[in-house]
Amino acid sequence: MEVFIDKTNQRKQLSFEGTAKQLLRKLSINSEEVIIVKNDQITTLDAKVSDEDTIKILSVISGG
Amino acid sequence: MKCEFCQKTAIAENPARCQTCFNKYVEETVKHTIKKYNLIEEGERVCVAASGGKDSITILHLLHSFGYNVEALAVDEGIHVYRDDTIRFLTKFCKERNIPLRVISYKDEIGKRLEDMVPKNKPACNMCGTFRRHILNKYSKEYEKIATGHNLDDESQAVLMNIVNAQTNLFARQGPKTRDVDGFTQKIKPLYFLKEKEIMTYAYTKQFAVGFTECPFSRESFRANLRDVFNLEESKNPGTKHNVVQKYLSMRQSSLGDNPETLKDINKCAVCGFPCNGETCKACQYKKKVANTTIKQTG
């Protein structure tokens, strides 16, 4: 799975099977602070994510 | 997760909504806020304080699509990369929709870019915020209202900050519409009941979202700590932010009544003539302070 975290401008390759919520927990990211984009579609926390997916974790907090 | 209203795939929780139903919810929430709090009256010209970020772009889009007479006013602090990107996006956005845009720079207004006033990595939020509010007020005088991007997150944090700082007198300055004070353009907050996450979701679906960039002069602050506390609580107990703001609005109503929005005959700054508490306003004090400073940026 390719994961991009825009707040830290990080790209990671992970092996992960589970829900988006579990992925955020693994990355220590609060779900209230981000939206999750799975293969270019916004998705909910209960969505299944797996190694074939490209995930973007976009910060909802402005940087000012 | 399926949309609770139409059973399509959901993009948002609490309640679950698909993209169409979610966007409708955002638009209806803003319409309801404008109507309930009488934010914009017929024929009024509204100036949108626009940075080019998701909040101000969403307001511009919504007010424009609802048929209001809107124009955009942006402040260019002079922060390389950070502000350049959002103003570029804002300029393109306004041009495509024929929304008039005016950009006022610190360089022209204060005499220096922010980068030439404060060393990088030093916090500048107090001074920068003062200059920004001063410029927005100065250039919005010809409009009846100025719309800002304050959302439910901002307001719930502000309520708690004012309680913790024992500044409950500042409660009168909050709310979806600020007081009508001589010398100030009345401020309205159409996104008042929407969470930051909801605005970001809407902005993403409309392709308004610009990438995350962090201001090099911002620092972790008391507000940022409260934001983390609220976000943790909201993720465990959805509705927390909304409850705090609703409680505040009830308190405000009971202590200030229906019409707390009037404040007349207040002091005028001896230098610029703007309303202020003392002899000179904070913006003029800062302007004097930075006039003779020379900053050499490193790194």
- Is there a contact between B232 and A64 if contact means CB atoms under 8 Å apart? no
Given this model, what pLDDT does residue B265 score? Answer: 62
What does the pLDDT average to over B51-75? 96
Give the separation between CA B119 and CA B294, rounded to whole angstroms. 10
The predicted model gives B271-298 an average pLDDT of 84
- Would you call A51 an interface residue with chain B, using a CB distance cutoff of 8 Å? no
- What does the mean pLDDT of chain A come to? 94
- A40 touches B: beta carbon within 8 Å: no
Question: What confidence score (pLDDT) does residue B253 get?
Answer: 76
Cβ within 8 Å of residue B165, ≥6 positions away: none
The mean predicted confidence, pLDDT, of chain B is: 89
Residue B263 is predicted with a pLDDT of 58
Q: CB B51 to CB A42 under 8 A?
A: no
The pLDDT of residue B94 is above 70: yes
Q: Which residues of B touch A59 (CB under 8 A)?
A: 212
pLDDT at B267 over 90: no
Task: Look at strands B180-181 and B262-263 and give their pairing.
Answer: parallel
pLDDT at residue B149 in the model? 93
Of A6, A47, A60, the CB nearest to B211: A6
Q: Which two tokens stand for residue B200?
A: 């970001």
- Predicted local distance difference test score (pLDDT) of residue B262: 52
- The answer on pLDDT for B208 being more than 50 is yes
- The yes-or-no verdict on residue B279 having pLDDT over 60 is yes
**Cis omega before residue B176 (within 30°)?**
no
Is the pLDDT reported for residue B232 higher than 80? yes
DSSP designation for B116: G
Q: Which residues of B touch A (CB under 8 A)?
A: 1, 10-13, 16, 19, 51, 53-55, 82, 196-197, 199-201, 204-205, 209, 211-215, 218, 227-228, 231-232, 234-235
Strands B69-76 and B45-49: parallel
Q: Is B211 helix (H, G, I), strand (E, B) or coil?
A: coil
What's the pLDDT tens digit per position in B126-169? 899 999 999 999 999 999 999 999 999 999 999 988 888 887 77
Contact A64 B51 (CB under 8 A): yes
Q: Determine the average pLDDT of the residues in B87-109.
A: 95
Share of chain B above pLDDT 90, in %: 62
- Please report, to the nearest 10 degrees, the dihedral formed by the alpha carbons of residues B82, B158, B150, B138 taken in order: -80
pLDDT for A25: 96
At residue B80, the pLDDT reads 80
Strand B69-76 vs strand B101-105: parallel, antiparallel, or unpaired? parallel
Instruction: Look at residue B257 in the predicted model and tell me its pLDDT.
Output: 60
Please tell me which of the candidates A7, A34, A46 has its beta carbon nearest to residue B1. Answer: A46
pLDDT along chain A (64 residues), means of 10: 93 96 96 96 96 95 70
Q: What are the b/e assignments for B158-171, b being 16+ CB within 10 Å?
A: bbbebeeeeeeeeb
Question: Could you give the ipTM of this predicted complex?
Answer: 0.96
Which among B11, B212, B218 has the least Cβ separation from residue A44? B11
Residues from chain B that touch A63, judged by Cβ atoms under 8 A, are: 82, 212-215, 218
- Pick the closest to residue B90 from B120, B55, B46, B129 (CA basis): B55
* pLDDT computed for residue B186 by the predictor: 93
For B235, nearest residue in chain A (alpha carbons): A32
**Chain B CB within 8 Å of residue A5 CB:** no
CB contact A62 to B (< 8 Å) = yes
